[in-house]
Structure 1
Amino acid sequence: MNFPFPIRQECPPGACVCDRDALLADPAADPRILKLTKEEEKRLVARLENIASLEDLRLMQQRIHAQLGIVIQITPSDNEVRTSRGISIQLEDAPGLCRKTRTALPAAIRRGFDNKPEIVYALLNERDLLSGT
């Protein structure tokens, strides 16, 4: 299959569960995820580490979904949240999503939370967890 954009190189055999070959073989599959080359992933990780506000984070989530088809769910725990580790960051499973990307994007978002703790407060306030303070 020929693509008008550069695609991600395949992972070493047995090192990943991305199922890239099945994605390339299926003509009905969504190939947008393959646009995320290793260089582009580094740029995306750097951008996520430098998020400035909750609105910026939500915009990045929308852009990642629109351009790559990756859905990122960010939800605070129903219990007490003491640090940014109490916030769940999940990527929905998608064919072609590399194992390293599955861990790199949430880690970058957490580093962004550590750099700007006010984003965590805004995220908690969005669910009215801090409305009384």
Structure 2
Amino acid sequence: MPPLPFPIRAECPPGACVCERERLLAEPGADIRPLALDRKQEMKLIERIERIDSYADLQHVQELIRRNIGAELRIAPGPNEVRTMRGIIIVLEEKPGLCKKVRQSVPAAVRKRLQEKPEIAWAILDAGNLFGSD
């Protein structure tokens, strides 16, 4: 295996994750960007999410995730009526090399931030013209 352009996340304990780390490393030409999200980088991402202060800033963080690890952070109103923050669906897409813990911690951090800054949640809802603004 040739040297990697960046440090990668340590292997998860056997049976604890389904990130397919080893298969990804063995596959020539595979997108290994998700492996760059080691524990230290994950904590930096969570800290960045905790500093989100607007809908535009949230969209910027989504773009950073897309560009740097190649995964999509989807945030949208649920299919039913949204009465609480739980009604907003937040998912970090499954991608080979992306640890299960990260796919849980990132949406949890976003949900927490939406609870702290409800105006961002309102902007998410209004992005679909929920409030009828033009």
TM-score normalised by the shorter chain: which range applies?
Answer: over 0.9
Q: Provide the residue aligned with 2:57 in structure 1.
A: 56
- Runs ≥4 residues deviating over 6 A: none
Q: Provide the residue aligned with 2:13 in structure 1.
A: 12
Q: Provide the residue aligned with 1:74 in structure 2.
A: 75
Shift of 1:44: 0.3
Q: Provide the residue aligned with 2:121 in structure 1.
A: 120
Superposed CA offset, 1:31-75 (max 9, x none)? 111111101101101111221101000011011110111111111
Shift of 1:82: 1.2
Distance 2:41 2:6 in 1: 12
Q: Provide the residue aligned with 2:131 in structure 1.
A: 130
Distance 1:49 1:79 in 2: 27
Shift of 1:5: 1.0
State the one-letter code of the partner of 1:95. Answer: P
State the one-letter code of the partner of 1:66. Answer: R
Superposed CA offset, 1:4-41 (max 9, x none)? 21110010111111110000000121011111110110
Shift of 1:110: 0.3
5+ long unaligned stretches in structure 1 = none
Q: Provide the residue aligned with 2:25 in structure 1.
A: 24
RMSD over aligned CA atoms reads 1.1
What's the TM-score, normalizing by structure 1? 0.94
Distance 2:34 2:46 in 1: 15
Distance 2:13 2:80 in 1: 40
Give the number of equivalent residue pairs.
Answer: 132
- Contact 2:8 / 2:35 at 8 angstroms: preserved in 1? yes
SS where residue 67 of structure 1 aligns? helix
Instruction: Tell me whether 1:65 sits opposite 2:66 in the alignment.
Output: yes
Distance 2:99 2:18 in 1: 7
Distance 1:100 1:92 in 2: 12
Identity of counterpart residues, as a percentage?
A: 50
Shift of 1:77: 1.6
Distance 1:78 1:70 in 2: 23
Q: Provide the residue aligned with 2:106 in structure 1.
A: 105
Superposed CA offset, 1:71-114 (max 9, x none)? 11111023211111100111222101101001001000001101
Distance 1:129 1:110 in 2: 20
